[in-house]
Amino acid sequence: SPTPLKVAVTGAAGQIGYSLLFRLASGALGDRPIELRLLEIEPALKTLEGVVMELDDCAFPGLAGIEIGHEAEKVFEGVNLALLVGARPRGPGMERGDLLEANGAIFTAQGKALNAVAADDVRIGVTGNPANTNALIAMTNAPDIDPSRFSALTRLDHNRAISQLAAKTGASVTEIKKMTIWGNHSATQYPDLFHAEVRGQNAAEAVGDQDWLENTFIPTVAKRGAAIIDARGSSSAASAASATVDAARDWLHGSAQDDWVSMAVVSDGSYGVPEGLISSFPVTTKDGDWKIVQGLEIDDFSRGRIDASTAELAEERDAVKGLGLI
């Protein structure tokens, strides 16, 4: 039988973990068996042991093994895929700088550990917030890993945008192609309907309503996380896990023909996004590599939105630079 794909998940005892681990173990990444490597902070290991008991109790045929621990250098040993979900949430009275510093400590350490012990083919997806900047910190602290192996999750925003557009146009989600999220996974993100398609027609034209696009669609997608918290009393978890799976699966196995996906990846300067920032782009994927879709025309409206979100990313980068994290 083939050697298992070693998949690390951090923050495995958290909300997203509780959904993500069962999706991974039940075969969401394909037929190859997987071995789970679960990283948590020490106080959460008991909870994590309970989750492992439940994973055992599912008797998943494709789950070849599980290891847990609180030391990144042990847990990340030989991993082919690392899903960095665990992060420090903003607590009461915490300033933005405190949040960046707390997460900086986590993602510098995890970047260094991956650099030291991950498999040569490792791919690293960051879900924990602030996802783009956490990915930048991990990438910068892993000098021996090609920067293209790091990405941050904007697939949830992408899926939210598809769902909103489908509801507006009466199309099914499968009839929507070429959705793009640009920029930061934050309220400044830009979900773009000018390049998306509904049943082969340009989405902005199919909608034919600039007011809806600007004043309903964009804010609904960008503020969906807050709407979920209002309704559910806790932040999106199953949908975030599902998007994490979608992103990893497409990265490893390729995006669909005549379509693309959104991923936050290191900028090469495409579309005027400052080089080196981890910003969301339209990308195609194949055999574990991504390519930014080239040649899209960007009008003034889109230009302004992309620039605003990438300016925020540049500010976050400057803040973590100021803290000595990168």
Catalytic residues: 185
| Only segment of 200-208, 233-241, 268-276, 316-324 that touches ligand NAX (CB under 6 A) | 233-241
Count of residues of this chain found to bind ligand NAX when the rule CB under 6 A is applied: 29
Residue whose C-beta lies closest to ligand NAX: 14
27: burial class by Cβ within 10 Å (0-12, 13-18, 19+)?
A: middle
Whether residue 218 is annotated as binding a ligand: the answer is no
DSSP 215: I
Q: What's the min distance (Å) between Cβ of 154 and ligand NAX?
A: 7
Alpha-carbon gap, residue 287 to 290, rounded angstroms: 8
Structure tokens at 223: 């503020």
Cβ-based nearer residue to ligand NAX, 40 or 316: 40
Choose which of 16, 29, 34, 179 interacts with ligand NAX (CB under 6 A).
Answer: 16
Cβ-based nearer residue to ligand NAX, 168 or 185: 185
DSSP character string of 108-130: HHHHHHHHHHS-TT-EEEE-SSS
Q: Under the criterion CB under 6 A, does residue 158 sit at the interface with ligand NAX? A: no
Q: Under the criterion CB under 6 A, does residue 106 sit at the interface with ligand NAX? A: yes
Choose which of 33, 86, 125, 282 interacts with ligand NAX (CB under 6 A).
Answer: 86
230: burial class by Cβ within 10 Å (0-12, 13-18, 19+)?
A: exposed
Q: Under the criterion CB under 6 A, does residue 40 sit at the interface with ligand NAX? A: yes
Alpha-carbon gap, residue 292 to 124, rounded angstroms: 17
Choose which of 5, 25, 156, 266 interacts with ligand NAX (CB under 6 A).
Answer: 156
Contacts of 230 (CB under 8 A, 6+ apart): none
Cβ-based nearer residue to ligand NAX, 40 or 197: 40
198 in Cβ contact with 171 (< 8 Å): yes
Q: Under the criterion CB under 6 A, does residue 14 sit at the interface with ligand NAX? A: yes
Choose which of 33, 128, 191, 282 interacts with ligand NAX (CB under 6 A).
Answer: 128
Q: Tokens 């250098």 belong to which residue?
A: 73
173 in Cβ contact with 166 (< 8 Å): yes
45 in Cβ contact with 67 (< 8 Å): no
Q: Under the criterion CB under 6 A, does residue 77 sit at the interface with ligand NAX? A: no
The neighbour count for residue 147, using CB atoms within 10 Å, is 16
The contact set with ligand NAX (CB under 6 A) reads 10-11, 13-17, 39-41, 44, 85-89, 106, 127-129, 131, 153, 156, 185, 225, 235-237, 240
Q: Which residue ranges make up the annotated binding site?
A: 11-17, 90, 96, 103, 110, 127-129, 160
